[in-house]
Structures are given as structure tokens and as C-alpha cells.
Structure 1
Amino acid sequence: FSPEGIEWGEKLAIAGLTDSTKKAYGMGLLRFNQFCDMLDIPEDQHMPTNEHLIVRFLGYHMGKVSGSCAKSWLSALQAWYELKGAPWPADSRLIHFARAGACISGALHKCPIHNPISINHMLTLFLVLKFSIPFHYSIWAVA
């Protein structure tokens, strides 16, 4: 195929991604390339690479980003490989376990579950509402 024809196909494939996915994937590719640069890995060895570098990348960010962020970055790498026709180690148990570990270690970055409104909030609301106004009744009912 001509380079122009390949580029058309890549543009079409990328057009199928949502904007939020493109943003997340872009960040994943940026972080992977920054990681490789930090380790002085030549660009021609960024892709294709081996599963050990991919796992090191996830390990470096372990506990620093959420599990969903790490999964998104890994999906970005996989999409990048597939779009470029490079072999992706899809059957790698090492990557599978690293992805699971990233999800567990990233749990620290989730907000704790808490009630959206406390008793103090309700009391403050009750004291400032004027129940002679119908709209205030509806606010109290929703709260």
C-alpha cells in the first residue's frame, strides 16, 4: 500500500475514537515516550518493544495514578501498536498481572465514599429556608 493509503486508514481508525479516549490515549503515549526517554531507550526501540519494558512502565507509575488511568495508558499503547501494525504481546501473562496490579495499587487515588449531605448541612438548610415560599418547600423535599 502507498503511504498515503495507509495514512487514510489510520485517520479513519482514529476518527472512530471519542474525544475523551483520544485525550487519554494521547496522554498514555506521551507518558510512555517520556518514560523511555528517561531510561535513554532509543526511539527505534520504543516500538515494537518487549513486554518487560511495558511492565516496567506500569510499575514506574504504580501508586502514582489511578488504576483506570493505568489501564487507559496500556490500552493506548495497544491501540498504537495495532494501528502501526506492530506485534502486541496480547497473550502476555506478565502484562495481564501488571494491569491487575496497577488497578489495585491505583485504588489509593480514588475518593473515599462519603455521604453527599451531612446532618449539619440539612440543619443549616432547614434554618435558612422560608417554608411560606412554595419553592423552598420543593428544595427541602429534594434535599
Structure 2
Amino acid sequence: MALGYAEGTKESYGSGLLAWHVWCDGKGIPEEQRTPASQLLISAFISALTGAFAGKTIRNYVYGVRAWHVVHRIRWRPNDDELDLLLKAADKLTPASSKRKKRLPYTVQFMLQLREQMDPDDPFDMAVFACLVCLFYSASRVGEFTVRRLDAFDESIHVTQRCLRRDQDRNGKKVTVLRLPRTKSAPDGEDVYWSAQNGLTDPEAALDRHLELNQPPVDGHLFAYKYKNGHRPLTKTAFVKRLAALARKAGLDPLQGHGIRIGATLEYLLRGVPFEVMKAMGRWQSDAFALYLRKHALILAPYIQAEAPHVYDEFVRITMPPAVR
């Protein structure tokens, strides 16, 4: 049953269990009262955290405690309806300091400004840039191309050179396909893809430069870079920190990692790629994709002009929820 949870979920739930036991220790709650946890105790736990932590964090903590009960076949006693109401209250009382900044999108221009601050002969910078533009033009998630920790690389779940292949359609148009061995939504893996682009953000040229300079092992991490006498896999933390440092060096505000995928979606839609095609390429869940579209004026602008009513109708078809019969 524990294998039913993704690695990231288990880490998050583990933090919840730690918070739960620290809180119980502070309140002098005996071990035998912690499992099975009572409605009163869980409600008190939520109330104690509300106003100090983000509602989403509190929700994950509670779900972590519940997951522990499920995995160990211990009856979950709290009433889920009551818990849901408490967690909604926790969401409303999330402190301003815990709220995430708006996830602004990466743009081609922003990536070019980052590139100007990089050393073209530095192995780490070239690995970071190759990873960035391949992420962007494939509309992928940062965690799918990087590893969590230096010691966490696993050939069976992380991308390697063996995951790469080149393909082309009947008209000779070439595309690079990268097989992700495993993702949170696809345990058996799925493909992402990109093609050559004009200009200095071309992912094909960036990847070739990285492979030439770093020469990562065929069975090693695809974006591994030379370090001392060996190679280091590119971690998510190192990747995000380097991009933030480059942005500050260029006099720009750093953007969040999720902004890469958002920016890719924005870029392709503004090029005229159909909504349905972009949704499939970015592997967006239907609801998330529609919510994203409604929040970005640059995407909406071409579709709400008076001279393009047919395009507006298509936008409404995609974003509006289906009618209830």
C-alpha cells in the first residue's frame, strides 16, 4: 500500500507525521491516544496550526496522518465532513507570509537574458541552460528532468541519454522525443517532445552543446555535468538556485520553476497552437488547463477581440464547464 504513494507525496506526508508527533509531544498526548487518532485530537491539531501555516500545508499534514492509519490498517475515526470544513477554514486563515507569489511565466526573452549571464564554457551552466530550454519547449515539469538529491539518481526513474530518440513525420519534419521513465500521473512513463527553434534558445543546439561539453555517462543522468573528477546529476535545488542567481545578476526578479511550464504554454498559444493540441502536449489536466487560461490576459487578448467572434466561441467551448443536464 505504501508503494501506492508517489515519492514526493511520501516526503510531504512524512513531514506531516513529524509535525503531528512534535505537537502531540508538546501537549503531552500519550502514544496510545495518537493512534487511532480521535476527532477531537485531529481537530485540535488543525486549530493549533491554523493561522501559522498555509492551509495547503495543514491539509498535507492531516492527510499524512490519515495515510499512516490506512497503510497500517488502523481505523480512521475522524469525520471527513467535519475535517473538510476545518481545512477550508485553515485555507481562509492562511497568513500572507505563507501565500505563494503569483507564478509568472518564463518567456523567450527572459531565457535569453539568463543566457547572457552564463559562461558558455562552464559545464554546470551549460547543463542548466540545456535543461531549461528543453523543459520550456516540451512544456515539462522541472521535477521530471532533474533529481531530488545528489544521491537520488536512479536510471529506472530518471532521464538518461537512452531515453532520447529522434523522429520525423512523413514530411520530414524532425522532432526529439524524450521518454520519461516514470511520472506522478504515469507510473509506466510517457513521452515529451520538442523540435529545433530559431535563435539562441534552440533546445537542440543547447542539448548538443551540453552533451559535447559534459559527456554524461550513457546510463547516467541526462543533464549530469562535470564536477571534479566525475559527474554530478542536476538536482532540482541546484537548477532553481542557479536560475535565480542568474536572474538577479541580470537585474531581474527570479521566477518560480513552475513558470517554465506556464511560459511554454503561453508561448505556444500565442503562436496559434490550438488549445486542444497544447493541452495534450503539456499534459495538462482539463480543469487545471481551463483555470490557467482564464488567469492570463495575454492568452485571452486575441480571443476576445470584436473582429474574431468565431475564435472567442472556440475559447468559451474549451474553458466553460459543460452544461448540467
TM-score (normalizing by structure 1): 0.66
Instruction: Give the distance between the partners of 1:114 and 1:27, measured in 2 at CA.
Output: 25
Are the aligned partners of 1:51 and 1:92 in contact in 2 as well (CA < 8 Å)? Answer: no
Matched, 1:111 2:100: yes
Displaced runs of 4 or more, over 2 A = 89-94, 111-117
Deviates more, 1:87-96 or 1:74-83: 87-96
Counterpart position of 2:76: 88
What is the deviation of 1:85? 1.9
Structure 2 residues without counterparts, runs of 5 or longer: 117-197, 203-266, 268-325
Select 1:56's aligned residue among 24, 44, 48. 44
Instruction: Give the distance between the partners of 2:103 and 2:55, measured in 1 at CA.
Output: 20
Instruction: Give the distance between the partners of 2:86 and 2:17, measured in 1 at CA.
Output: 18
Counterpart position of 1:9: none
Structure 1 residues without counterparts, runs of 5 or longer: 1-12, 129-133
Counterpart position of 2:56: 68
Q: How does 1:2-17 map to 2 (within 5 A)?
A: 13-17=1-5
Residues 92 and 114 of structure 1: is their aligned pair in 2 closer, same or farther, counting only changes over 3 Å?
closer
Counterpart position of 1:26: 14
The AA in structure 2 aligned to 1:98 is L
What is the deviation of 1:92? 4.3
Instruction: Give the distance between the partners of 1:18 and 1:110, measured in 2 at CA.
Output: 25
Are the aligned partners of 2:50 and 2:94 in contact in 1 as well (CA < 8 Å)? Answer: yes
Counterpart position of 2:85: 97
Higher share of residues assigned helix? 1
Deviates more, 1:98-107 or 1:57-66: 98-107
Aligned Cα RMSD in Å?
2.8
The AA in structure 2 aligned to 1:39 is K
Q: Name which structure has the greater RCO, CA cutoff 8 Å, separation 6+.
A: 1
Residues 15 and 114 of structure 1: is their aligned pair in 2 closer, same or farther, counting only changes over 3 Å?
closer
Instruction: Give the distance between the partners of 2:74 and 2:104, measured in 1 at CA.
Output: 48
What is the deviation of 1:107? 5.9
Instruction: Give the distance between the partners of 1:31 and 1:47, measured in 2 at CA.
Output: 15
| Cα-to-partner distance string for 1:87-120 (whole Å, 9 max, x where unaligned) | 2135344322111111222263213438669xxx
Instruction: Give the distance between the partners of 2:95 and 2:27, measured in 1 at CA.
Output: 27
Count, aligned residues:
114
Matched, 1:79 2:79: no
Residues 107 and 87 of structure 1: is their aligned pair in 2 closer, same or farther, counting only changes over 3 Å?
same
